[in-house]
């Protein structure tokens, strides 16, 4: 099989929440306001994206 594999939407959402729960601060509901909780979600996703961008890519032969 080549190309993209179509995932059910449920798996996409579950994978998103799994990435969020890797951040220790988001594993429990510590935030008092929704604004600070939203900021922590943005921070967690920013860390995830920067790790993916910084990961070395295999060279094409």
Res 12: pLDDT: 75
33: left (phi over 0), alpha (psi -120 to 50) or beta: beta
Residue 49 forms part of a structural domain: no
User: Tens digit of pLDDT for each residue in 11-52?
Assistant: 777 877 777 777 776 666 666 788 877 888 888 889 888 988
Confidence of residue 60 (pLDDT cuts 50, 70, 90): low
Looking up tokens 């951040």, which residue turns up? 23
Question: What is the model's pTM?
Answer: 0.57
Residue 21 forms part of a structural domain: yes
The DSSP output letter for 29 is T
Residue 17 forms part of a structural domain: yes
Residue 44 forms part of a structural domain: no
Residue 28 forms part of a structural domain: yes
Count the domains in the chain.
Answer: 1
Residue 30 forms part of a structural domain: yes
Residue 4 forms part of a structural domain: no
């Amino acid at each position: 099989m080549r190309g993209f594999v179509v995932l059910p939407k449920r798996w996409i959402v579950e994978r998103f929440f799994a990435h969020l729960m890797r951040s220790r601060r988001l594993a429990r509901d510590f935030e008092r306001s929704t604004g600070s909780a939203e900021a922590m979600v943005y921070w967690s996703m920013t860390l995830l994206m920067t790790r993916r961008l910084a990961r070395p890519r295999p060279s094409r032969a």
